[in-house]
Structure formats: C-alpha cells, structure tokens
Chain A
Amino acid sequence: MRDVLPDIEKWRSQGDQVAIATVVSMVGSAPRQPGAKLAVSEKGELSGSVSGGCVEPAVVQAAMEVIKNGQPQLLEFGISEADNIEKIGLACGGTIQVFVERLDW
C-alpha cells in the first residue's frame, strides 16, 4: 500500500478518479504476494503491480470499468498451466485473485 500512495495522492490532487487492484489470494507460486497493489488513474496511469506484468493489461481494463460504474470486480488469473497458454495467465502457473475497486471510500 505504501508504495502506491504517492502516485494516488498526485492523481487525486489533479481531480482524477482512481481504482485500486489488490492481490487477495494466491495458490501455487505467483510473482506477487497477497496485499500487492496496482493503482490505476482514470487517464490510464499505473503505479505498483499485481503480477510483474503478465496480467496487468486485463486488470487495467477492469479498473477502467470499475472507475466508470463503481462496481468492484473480483478477477481470477492462471487457472491451470494448460489454460495459461490459451488465455491471459501467469507465467509460473499459479493462481491469483485480484480485487478491483474504485477509491471512493
């Protein structure tokens, strides 16, 4: 959380809306631990990370929807290694759940 605070402050001072994505669970090996955060501004600026790059594009897309409609989303990535080849997933084969919410609290 501490790592993304300065950027969130900057965006909010400019009057921009912000979404925060948090890794809430992890099965198997994954690049970032629960609690890891990616903050996204309404202009698409990023701070922090939830995976080291592999699932960020999908999380950013969800963050943009969440900023617009205010409805939190729970995303899951990397269901199995076989699935990972077909769709967006984690390179190392683990599974993570990412909670995406608008910063309106």
Chain B
Amino acid sequence: MSGLYEELKNRLEQEHGIAIATVIRGVEQPGARMLIYPDATTHGTLGSPELDQQVTSDATQAIWTSGAALHQYSLAQPDARTIEVFIEGFPPPPELIIVGAGHIAIPLTTFAKTLNYRVVVIDARAAFATPERFPHADELIVAWPDEILSQRPIYPSTAVAVLTHDPKFDEPTLKVLLERHGGYVGAIGSRKTSTERGERLKMQGLTDEQLQRIYGPIGLDIGATSPEEIALSIITQIVAYRHGKIGPQQR
C-alpha cells in the first residue's frame, strides 16, 4: 500500500485538480500508477523516468479537459515496445472570482451559481461585500483584491471579472492577474476607459500580449443595459471562453 488511493480520494474530496495514470498494457507489471498534480509534480511511478515524463505532460492537460483516454507511448531504449497508459483527469469545479461587489456582481453571482461555478466575491469596501447582498457566494472576502489574488491558486479554469469601476482597485488587480497563467479575465469600462487603462498598464510594464488577454469592455455585445443584462453578457462570454468559442482576438 503506497497511499496513492488515499491521496487521490483526498484531492477529489477537497475538489482540487488531479490526474491519475495507470499502465494498462506493454510492460511486465500492468497496474503501475502515478498521480499528477496541476503544477506537473507527481507521486508514484509508471516504471521509468522517461515514461513518467511523457505521461506528465498529457496528464496535466487531462486535468483541465476532464480527459479519460488510453494513450500510447514508445520508449527509446532498451526495448521499443508500445506502452498503453490510461490517463484520467479530474478538474476542480470552475471558479469565478468577482472583484468588486457592486450592483452587477449580485446577478452575476446568481447566474454563475446556476451554472455550477464556485463563486468568490472580493471587495475592499466592507459595506458592499456583505452576506445579505451575496447569500449565494461561496466565499466573500473583504480585502485588497490584488493582495488576495497574488496568493490564491489561479487555474486555467479560473475566470475573473473585474467590476470595481475604480482604477485604484482595477489596475493592481489586472496587473497581478496578467502576470499569472489563469483563464478568462474581463474588466468593466467603456471602450475609452479600456483603452486608457491599457495604456497605463503598459507604462507599468505589461506587454501587448498580456493586455490582449483582457476582455474589455467586458461581456458579449447583446445590447445589455440593466445590471442583470450586463451580468448575463459577462457570464455568456465566460462560458464561450470556457468552450473555446472565443479567443483573445475574437470579441
């Protein structure tokens, strides 16, 4: 008993991402297995460092695609047999982090919960981030958003909607987010505000490539005017991003 099952069970129960790889065919000992974490660290072995390394790359991808498939590998030496490995990925539930607990954040929380997102609301202003306004939020954090976001895990499945309307909160938040490898990042503001914000962030050292990751003005253009409609346009854009329907160049 090497404890891999216990570790897998704990990761699943705590809703953290993990993949498991099992040798099915091609070596003396089918059943050799390895756990793979989102940061590409591993636990256990499939029998050779070369195989472990090849599998790790496929397995970290499988975490985010919920992949469950047989993969074929051939090792160079000493024998060139094909090895079949079953890789199964378990993503954490997708998370939506809403920065700014204003009037759009309330319907956005409701929509996201309906779509099974884990919703985190962050605002430095205690009067806005209250349980009465956000009864459905999984986490409600009163603090400076950039400080929180620089510390917590940000995954490719993590979406962030920056809705404060205030450059002193928005800009440090965006700077932290664009320096990390997360998923969707949207920021509220008119086309003019977005352009000016982009220029200020560029002066703070962010590259054009990083800035292109921001969806701003936030939301798909559905002609939204009310807070509820704007929230709908934002969640629609997040879902389209998640399914690969929109990239940084397609707005």
Chain A residues with CB under 8 Å of chain B are 1-2, 5, 9, 22, 24-25, 33-35, 72, 74, 97, 99, 101, 103-105
- Per-residue interface assignment for chain B, residues 3 to 30, with 1 indicating a CB less than 8 Å from any chain A CB and 0 otherwise: 0110011001100000000101100001
Least distance between B206 CB and chain A CB atoms (Å): 39
Least distance between B32 CB and chain A CB atoms (Å): 9
B86 CB contact (under 8 Å) in A9, A24, A104, A105: A24
Least distance between B12 CB and chain A CB atoms (Å): 6
Nearest CB in chain A to that of B69: its residue: A34
Q: Is B70 among interface residues, defined by CB-CB distance under 8 A?
A: yes
> A103-B5, A105-B2 in contact; A25/B90 too (CB < 8 A)?
no
Size class of the contact patch on chain B = 20 to 34
Q: Is B1 among interface residues, defined by CB-CB distance under 8 A?
A: yes
Nearest CB in chain A to that of B8: its residue: A1
A1:B33 contact, CB within 8 angstroms? no
Residues of A within 8 A of B44 (CB): 105
30 residue pairs bridging A and B, Cβ less than 8 Å apart: A1-B8, A1-B12, A1-B88, A2-B12, A2-B90, A5-B9, A5-B12, A5-B13, A9-B9, A22-B88, A24-B70, A25-B69, A33-B68, A34-B68, A34-B70, A34-B86, A34-B88, A35-B68, A35-B88, A72-B30, A74-B25, A74-B30, A99-B22, A99-B86, A101-B31, A103-B5, A104-B1, A105-B2, A105-B33, A105-B44
B24:A105 contact, CB within 8 angstroms? no
B24:A99 contact, CB within 8 angstroms? yes
Residues of A within 8 A of B69 (CB): 25, 34
Alpha-carbon separation in the docked complex, A103 to B33 (Å): 12
Alpha-carbon separation in the docked complex, A3 to B30 (Å): 25
Nearest CB in chain A to that of B13: its residue: A5
Least distance between B249 CB and chain A CB atoms (Å): 33
Nearest CB in chain B to that of A104: its residue: B1
Nearest CB in chain B to that of A18: its residue: B5
B90 CB contact (under 8 Å) in A1, A34, A103: A1
Residues of A within 8 A of B22 (CB): 99, 101
Nearest CB in chain B to that of A102: its residue: B31
Residues of A within 8 A of B9 (CB): 5, 9
A22:B5 contact, CB within 8 angstroms? no
Residues of B within 8 A of A97 (CB): 70
A22:B31 contact, CB within 8 angstroms? no
Alpha-carbon separation in the docked complex, A25 to B69 (Å): 7
**Residue from the set A2, A74, A97, A105 with the largest chain B CB neighbour count within 10 Å:** A105
Least distance between A70 CB and chain B CB atoms (Å): 9
